[in-house]
Amino acid sequence: MGTQVNRNSRRPTANCQCQRFEKFLERCTVVLTLHYHQEDRAAMPSHNEYPASSALALEIIDCWNEKDMERLLQSYHPACEYTSPRVADVYEQTDGTIGSSSGTIHDSEALKEYFLHLVRTTKPPIQCELLSVLRGNGSVAVVYERENSEIVAEYMKVEYGRIVKVDVLYSTPGSP
């Protein structure tokens, strides 16, 4: 099939330009894929499969229940962004040594300190029961119940098998 042209101007039609653009994007995807490290390529999703999955949710819940923060942090990208109202609370409780006043942590080292603080100070110890996993296009929402009967939802953006952004939401006292 030859190139479609507009008979009046001899320029390619919009349909033809869209097809060429789609082929260009396909080539770019292939080229960009080749630039990832070997371990990242192994974790890359196929065209119809996304890494944001039930397996990731189960891994997170298991890590919290086992208090295995090292394993938990392997699921997070080193430059992840973690936002929770509790981050600002911990910041105040620790006189600014852990967390942030804005409620957002911007890297995995600070996130590690925050998680370790939660494990050390939460009484009774943190226990999570997975209630639901909602999957999206490159994202997952994990809904679970904490040891204190609080319902928590964590909305996570996932890229190449690692969490890059998290927004944590908590049930309000007395809510259904």
Q: Is 124 helix (H, G, I), strand (E, B) or coil?
A: coil
Cα separation of 83 and 164, whole Å?
A: 11
pLDDT tens figures, 74-125:
999 999 999 999 999 999 999 999 999 999 999 999 999 999 999 999 999 9
In which band, very low, low, confident or very high, does the pLDDT at 153 lie, cut at 50, 70 and 90?
very high
The residue-averaged pLDDT of 42-58 equals 56
Cα separation of 78 and 164, whole Å?
A: 8
In which band, very low, low, confident or very high, does the pLDDT at 49 lie, cut at 50, 70 and 90?
very low
Stated as kind and residue range, the H or E segment containing 111 is helix 108-121
Please tell me whether the overall predicted TM-score, pTM, comes out greater than 0.75 for this model: no
Stated as kind and residue range, the H or E segment containing 139 is strand 139-146
Respond yes or no on whether the N-terminal peptide bond of residue 124 is cis (omega within 30° of 0): yes
Amino acid at site 66: E
Burial of 90 (0-12, 13-18, 19+ CB in 10 A): buried
Q: Average per-residue pLDDT in the chain? A: 79
| 147 token code pair | 């040891």
In which band, very low, low, confident or very high, does the pLDDT at 138 lie, cut at 50, 70 and 90?
confident
